[in-house]
Amino acid sequence: MHIFITGATGYIGGTVGRHLAAAGHVIRGLARDPAKSDALRAIGIEPVIGTLDDSALLAAEAARADAVINCASSDHRPAIEALIAGLAGSGKILLHTSGSSQVGDAVAGNVLTGQIFDESTPLVVGAEKWARYELDQRILATPGMRGVVVCNTLIYGHGKGLQPDSVQIPALVAQARDSGAVRIVGRGVNRWSTVHLDDVCALYQLVLERPDTQGFYFAENGESSYAEMAEAIARRMRIERIEHLSEEEAIALWGLNKARYSLGSNSRVRALRARRELGWQPRHASAVAWIANEMALPG
Ligand SMILES: NC(=O)c1ccc[n+]([C@@H]2O[C@H](COP(=O)([O-])OP(=O)(O)OC[C@H]3O[C@@H](n4cnc5c(N)ncnc54)[C@H](OP(=O)(O)O)[C@@H]3O)[C@@H](O)[C@H]2O)c1
């Protein structure tokens, strides 16, 4: 299959692209920095130099591909409109990478919610994440192509493309390295569903290679509280102090989006549909076990 992927130099896109190339697919990948071309070719991805704002380029690449994967941004509407324009009427698949912070509740780390979403549960989305939800719905409701939204949770594991690090756990680790204390938002009783990057790759491959996949899928293979992840990071890094930040302190450190939604919220989901319909069987089960046994220590 000829596949066009955005975010080819990133954590998800680079690893997914490399995985699919190794599985025999022909991959062209969007990169905005020409200096990364050789490194992309070395992992089996032919670079296409451009940005998410190059609508004509995105539409042309989508039109010539058998399938399109967006891994650059869960929120960039113009890029999605361009990819849709390129796919219009083709019946081909657009696999969009979304994220479960859209169901995050702003509890500043201090409340454990009992609310767990699966694909049949109406999502509860706050105003700040509404645009992401609407973009997912735009893709799912577009006729003439197969729109698939994979709503990833907290992804962990080492990236095998050009970017080895994910978003949430590496942010805590970098902060701990710099400050000597593992810092989390509030008490850290808030829980996030988690998924290993290798299992994400397997899910994307299943979605792409089946001729009939369409619709919304969560991706998750376990869940942990931030307190549990912080304890595991502290043990792994041999750090004794865990500090509990107020939301204001966390926003000052990480910015509003990361502090409130990525680190301070609950985001608990179950990937029922991928398991039931696609036979997806995640091999990993626990971000805490990965931190304890496999996570690289920061340099
Ligand atoms: N990692 C997670 O746990 C997770 C979970 C759920 C959802 N998500 C979402 O998935 C998306 C990708 O996440 P990630 O962790 O893979 O992030 P990442 O490592 O920062 O990768 C982002 C990729 O998109 C590219 N990109 C960004 N803006 C671009 C633009 N304007 N034009 C062209 N390329 C652009 C980056 O290029 P450069 O290399 O040039 O910067 C990079 O290749 C994000 O929207 C993220 O919020 C992530």
CA of 7 to the centre of ligand 1 (A): 6
pLDDT at 142 over 90: yes
- The answer to whether the CB of 90 falls within 8 A of the CB of 25 is no
CA of 9 to the centre of ligand 1 (A): 8
Range list of H helices, 146-297 = 168-179, 197-209, 226-237, 247-254, 256, 272-278, 287-293
pLDDT at 285 over 90: no
Determine whether the shortest distance from the Cβ of 51 to ligand 1 is under 6 A. yes
Determine whether the shortest distance from the Cβ of 152 to ligand 1 is under 6 A. yes
CA distances from 116 to 14, 105, 132, 197, 281 (A): 30, 12, 19, 22, 20
Query: Please, what is the average pLDDT of the chain?
Result: 97
CA of 71 to the centre of ligand 1 (A): 6
**Tokens standing for residue 226:** 């931030």
Output the pTM of the full model: 0.98
The per-residue pLDDT for 6 is: 99
Determine whether the shortest distance from the Cβ of 157 to ligand 1 is under 6 A. no
pLDDT at 148 over 90: yes
- H-helix or E-strand spanning residue 42: helix 37-42
Ligand 1 atom closest to the Cα of residue 98 is 7
Tell me: the pLDDT tens digits for 180-200?
999 999 999 999 999 999 999
The per-residue pLDDT for 218 is: 98
CA of 238 to the centre of ligand 1 (A): 30
Tell me the mean pLDDT in the region 69-82.
Answer: 98
* Start-to-end Cα distance in the chain: 39
Q: What is the SS3 assignment for 86? A: helix
- Residues 6 or more apart whose CB falls under 8 angstroms from that of 190 comprise 107, 109, 110, 111, 112, 113, 225, 226, 264, 265, 266
Residue 299 confidence class, pLDDT cut points 50, 70, 90: confident
Ligand 1 atom closest to the Cα of residue 72 is 24
The per-residue pLDDT for 169 is: 97
Determine whether the shortest distance from the Cβ of 32 to ligand 1 is under 6 A. yes
- The answer to whether the CB of 252 falls within 8 A of the CB of 94 is no
Buried b or exposed e, range 21-42, using 16+ CB within 10 angstroms: beeebebbbbbbeeebbebbee
CA distances from 218 to 81, 101, 110, 146, 150 (A): 23, 12, 25, 17, 6
Tell me the mean pLDDT in the region 204-209.
Answer: 98
CA of 11 to the centre of ligand 1 (A): 7
The per-residue pLDDT for 298 is: 87
Residue 130 confidence class, pLDDT cut points 50, 70, 90: very high
The per-residue pLDDT for 61 is: 99
Residue 29: phi and psi, rounded to 5, are -130, 135
CA of 181 to the centre of ligand 1 (A): 27
Class of domain 2-291: alpha beta
Determine whether the shortest distance from the Cβ of 240 to ligand 1 is under 6 A. no
Task: Give me the residue spans of the domains in the chain.
Answer: 2-291
105-106 and 265-266: which strand pairing?
Answer: antiparallel
| Cα atoms in the Cβ-side hemisphere of radius 13 Å centred on 5 | 34
Determine whether the shortest distance from the Cβ of 9 to ligand 1 is under 6 A. yes
Tell me: the pLDDT tens digits for 167-179?
999 999 999 999 9
**Tokens standing for residue 9:** 């130099």
Interatomic CA distance for residues 180 and 217, integer angstroms:
38
CA of 14 to the centre of ligand 1 (A): 10
Q: What is the SS3 assignment for 183? A: strand
Q: Categorise residue 7: left if φ over 0, alpha if ψ from -120 to 50, beta otherwise.
A: left
- 48: which strand partners? 30
Tell me: the pLDDT tens digits for 14-61?
999 999 999 999 999 999 999 999 999 999 999 999 999 999 999 999
